[in-house]
Amino acid sequence: MNLIIDIGNTKIKASLFQDGKLMHTLNSDQTDTEFVQEITDHYNITHAIVSSVREFPFDLMDLLYWKTKSTFFFDMDLPVPIDNLYASKNTLGYDRLAACIGANAIYPRKNILVIDAGTAITFDFVNCKGQYEGGCISPGLSMRFKALNQFTKKLPLLSLNENYHLIGKNTEEAITGGVQNGIIFEIDSYITNLKSQYTDLEVLLTGGDAKFLHKNTNNNSSYEPNVLAIGLNHILDFNISKPSNNK
C-alpha cells in the first residue's frame, strides 16, 4: 500500500492507495510523526512519498525510511512522469505540478486546464503531449474579501456566501456579489479563451473553494478534490520503478 503525505501550513493530510486506487484519506492536527506512526502501525505501508510546504521533516522521513521499502521526498530533484517546461522550475509550487500530474493521469493524452481554488487560484495547463507549460496565479476568494476589508476604512470582512446577486442592494451584497461574480467571470473567461485555442480542452477544478465554483461557473468542468494526492501517488509509482532512487 502506498502512503501519500501532504504537509500543509496547519494540517497534515494522508492518502492511502492500493493498486492505483484511493482507499482512504485522513487529516490530523497532530504532529507529523505521531500521525504517521499511527498510520504505519495500522496499515501495511510499503512505499511512501512526502510533500511539504514547511521545512524538511527530518523526523518524519527517518520514521518512513525505517517503516517502508522506499520513501521519497517531493522536490524538484525528484523525477516526475511529465515534462516540466516551466522556465523558473525552482519557484514552481510543488502542489501545482503534482496536481497537473494527477490531472494528466485522469485525462491521458488530453489538453488539460487545472484550476486549484484555494488561498490563491492557480490556472495550470498540461498539453496532450504530457508537457506542463505553465499557467497563472490570481487571488482567491478569501484573499479578495480580506483585501477589501484591510485596504479600506469602512468595508466589512465577509466570506463565501451561497446566496449572492448580480446587483447588490446593500454593501454586504455588493461585496459578496463583486468578489464571487468576479472570480466566476474570471474563470469562465479564462476557460473560454483557452478553449478557443484547444477545442478539446478538459477542465478540472480542485481546492477548498472548487466545489462552489464548479457549481456556479458556466463551462463544463470536472470536480476532483483528490487530484493532488492522485498526482503524488503517480510520482511515487514512477520512482518506485527506479531502484537507484529508492530511499
Q: What is the pLDDT of residues 89-140, one digit of tens each?
A: 999 999 999 999 999 999 999 999 999 999 999 999 999 999 999 999 999 9
User: In the predicted model, is pLDDT for residue 236 greater than 80?
Assistant: yes
Q: What is the pLDDT of residue 214?
A: 96
32 assigned to active site: no
User: In the predicted model, is pLDDT for residue 9 greater than 90?
Assistant: no
SS3 170: coil
Q: What is the pLDDT of residue 244?
A: 56
Name every residue whose Cβ is closer than 8 Å to that of residue 232 and which is 6 or more positions away in sequence: 4, 6, 15, 49, 51, 74, 98, 101, 102
The one-letter amino acid code at 8 reads: G
Catalytically annotated residue among 95, 116, 124, 209: 95
Q: What is the pLDDT of residue 243?
A: 62
Please, is 191 exposed, middle or buried when counting C-beta atoms within 10 Å of its C-beta (0-12, 13-18, 19+)? buried
Question: Averaged over 6-23, what is the pLDDT?
Answer: 91
User: In the numeric block, which cell numbers belong to residue 118?
Assistant: 484555494
pLDDT band at 8 (very low <50, low <70, confident <90, very high): confident
Q: What is the pLDDT of residues 127-137, one digit of tens each?
A: 999 999 999 99
Q: What is the pLDDT of residues 66-82, one digit of tens each?
A: 999 999 999 989 999 99
Q: What is the pLDDT of residues 155-179, one digit of tens each?
A: 999 999 999 999 999 999 999 999 9
Question: Averaged over 232-237, what is the pLDDT?
Answer: 98
pLDDT band at 246 (very low <50, low <70, confident <90, very high): low
For the chain, which domains are there?
Answer: 2-73 (3.30.420.40), 83-229 (3.30.420.40)
Q: What is the pLDDT of residue 111?
A: 98
pLDDT band at 55 (very low <50, low <70, confident <90, very high): confident
User: In the predicted model, is pLDDT for residue 148 greater than 90?
Assistant: yes
- The pTM for the full model equals 0.92
Q: What is the pLDDT of residue 242?
A: 75
Q: What is the pLDDT of residue 247?
A: 52
Q: What is the pLDDT of residue 108?
A: 97
Of the ranges 20-34, 51-65, 148-162, which is most confident?
148-162
Q: CA 223, 98, 36: angle at the middle one, nearest 5?
A: 95
